[in-house]
Structure 1
Amino acid sequence: MAGKTGQFAWTQERIVLALAVLVFAVSAIMLRGFLEPNNLISIVRSVSVLGILAVGMSIVIIGRGIDLAAVAIMAMSAAWYLQMLSDGWSDGAALAITIGGVLLIGLVNGFLIAYADVPAIFATLASGAFVFGYVRSQLIAQDAVPVPNGHWLESIGRARFLDIPAEVFIFAGIVFAAYLFLRFSKWGRYVYYMGDNFLAARNMGIPVRPMIMLRYVISALIALAAGLLTASSLHSINTRVVNSTLLYDIILVVVIGGIGLSGGKGGMRNVVVGALLIGIMLNAMTILDIPNIYQNLIKATILLIAIIVDSLLNPRDEQTAQQGDI
């Protein structure tokens, strides 16, 4: 709802931020242990990882796409990197090879969508399944791969600044970099143009196919960063997270934060407020000891409502349907 010119307007972003503050306040009053330092650290860490993944997803969705391979890339790239370290590879070589593999996955996803005309939802779903299956069966020895003792990831996991975990600052840095990219670079403007009107963007001379590939490469690299950050805080990475509901949590953060699935709308502030609300809500449900099956039901209901509201606020057009994206 928008007010008159010059007056306060209740945008979706502000509504979600107000809900996040409300849920936090109610949880602080009603739930024992919610304000304990360890629990607050747990919240900010989960919000940071969830938010980083949502940054990559939002860049893809703003350009009118979807990346269902993000969680698989996150978990399997970090696991492969740690496995190479365990096998005696030098840190520099293992990290370079991992980055190269992640770049390749992003390029393949982008190529399938941009040049082979495979709908994004199917291309990334298939690539995510392939990445998980190949890495788990051929490149790593077990589901959970530990961080070697004394590795720099451990240092990041323990690092604090003003008693705030390093993950928060890394999340803020990635959000700020994405903000600068989207708002102040010509490539970022191209993302919005393509999301708003793909055919018009192509007719303007925007290199739409290379831009599609760029978005999926960025998403893959951000997923790798989220995987390394997860490993730093947990001192290991468990590949079973690929089969969890994390992917749906990421989409929920993006949609509920106010980034339209039809493309061309939203920004990094939407990611931050969406991650805050969902992170606090998930933590509160965990403290309440709500079984996972009911947590999933609650999240699915919220996601369904958010998608319906998004379809009303940002109706799909004929061009969107022709793109094959969600």
Structure 2
Amino acid sequence: MSRTQGPVPRKKPSQAMAVLGICAVVFIGFSLTLPGFLSFGNLLALARNISILGVLALGMAIVVIARGLDLSQVASMACSTAVTLILMNDGWPTPLALAAGLCIAVAVGLVNGWLISVVEMPALLTTLASGLAVLGITRSTAVQHFVVNLGPGHEQFLRLGGNLPGGVPASLVVFVAAVVLVHLFLSRTVLGRFIYAHGDNPEGARLTGLPTRPLTMLEYALCAGIGYVGGVVMIAQTALMHLQVVEGTLIFDVILVVVLGGVSLTGGRGNVASVVVGTLLIGVLLNGMTIMDLDIQTQNIVKGIVLLGAIVLDSVLHPRDEETSKQGD
């Protein structure tokens, strides 16, 4: 007897592949229309900017995959790296100063995770408040002015912001290394699988025995720690940290990269490839708008429209009824 088979379900389109295609079209369009876009100097600048944005987005992706959000990432990055610069200027050995800054960033992430998982405060308001608190504490105790400059005698450290033999930016190598490490962590380790399970169904993860509270603290600590790496690359490139970066749109650029690439705000979906393609598209867009000398308001309008489009696309590809059915609502 022959069996009657139902229709084969259609595979949903990959958001990452769609974004990669859009990025290729935008890159070709800018190459043909913007003078200097394909120049060696501009491509180097593009690679450096993409690297910093990409490293920050890798940390944010871990939290978003776990169905969270960290609005304090840029604040913890800026303040911890500012303290690192102060310690280096005071004569601390560079490795020790870097380790101290990392401890500060991770501590902020752990406090965020504790408040969210143990005190059960909303992630959005918690990280917004902690970012403001960290900035205020840093400004009142360590940084009297917004800018902290790196003093002379740190040429070895500044090489991290330069180019390797062959003209390859060292920051790009850091980004690639971070991509590989985060990919291996999320896809090949037990903790990585726990993070996906936590974001896919938090209540189900708790009922099956996953340590969701320590896991939440780990997620936010990783977000802050990886973000600190991006901050170290930034200060190596510029030899300074300007705390007004906290008040700018960098945190929204990071969230835009994550959501645009396909890391779903509903949790449990997305990967490192999503972050990479989102970083490429936003990096190319920002670089092109800078060459066109668009004012900051116009750039914000473009980024806002792109973010709204990414959220709509996320909702279309991952309807809310799928999420509620998984949780039994």
> Where do residues 99-138 of structure 1 align in structure 2 (5 Å cutoff)?
99-138=102-141
1:324 corresponds to: none
1:276 corresponds to: 280
User: Which of 255, 260, 280 is equivalent to 1:256?
Assistant: 260
Superposed CA offset, 1:189-242 (max 9, x none): 000101111111111111111100000110111111011100111121111111
| Aligned residue type for 1:289 | D
Q: Which moved more, 1:54-63 or 1:138-147?
A: 138-147
> What is the aligned-residue RMSD (CA, Å)?
2.0
Number of aligned residue pairs: give it.
317
2:250 corresponds to: 246
Q: Name the CA distance, whole Å, in 2 between partners of 1:319 and 1:280.
A: 38
Give the TM-score, by structure 1 length.
Answer: 0.92
Any gaps of 5 or more consecutive residues in structure 1?
322-326
Q: Would you say the 8 A contact 1:258–1:266 is kept in 2?
A: yes
2:177 corresponds to: 173
Q: Name the CA distance, whole Å, in 1 between partners of 2:325 and 2:219.
A: 20
| Aligned residue type for 2:33 | M
SS in structure 2 at match of 1:164: coil
2:4 corresponds to: none
Superposed CA offset, 1:106-156 (max 9, x none): 110010011000011111111111111111221123212122334233111
Instruction: Using the TM superposition, give the Cα deviation of residue 310 of structure 1 relative to its aligned residue in structure 2, in angstroms.
Output: 1.4
Say whether residues 1:80 and 2:118 are aligned partners: no
User: Which of 148, 152, 160 is equivalent to 1:145?
Assistant: 148
User: Which of 160, 164, 167 is equivalent to 2:164?
Assistant: 160
Q: Would you say the 8 A contact 2:80–2:105 is kept in 1?
A: yes
Q: Would you say the 8 A contact 2:65–2:270 is kept in 1?
A: yes
| Aligned residue type for 2:166 | L
| Aligned residue type for 2:26 | V
| Aligned residue type for 1:130 | A
> Where do residues 178-193 of structure 1 align in structure 2 (5 Å cutoff)?
178-193=182-197
1:70 corresponds to: 73
Question: Percent of pairs identical after alignment?
Answer: 40
Instruction: Using the TM superposition, give the Cα deviation of residue 94 of structure 1 relative to its aligned residue in structure 2, in angstroms.
Output: 2.4
Any gaps of 5 or more consecutive residues in structure 2?
1-6
Q: Would you say the 8 A contact 1:192–1:265 is kept in 2?
A: yes
Q: Name the CA distance, whole Å, in 2 between partners of 1:85 and 1:231.
A: 12
Which structure has the greater CA radius of gyration? 2
SS in structure 1 at match of 2:148: strand
| Aligned residue type for 1:38 | G
Q: Which moved more, 1:133-142 or 1:288-297?
A: 133-142
Give the TM-score, by structure 2 length.
Answer: 0.92
Q: Name the CA distance, whole Å, in 1 between partners of 2:272 and 2:302.
A: 25
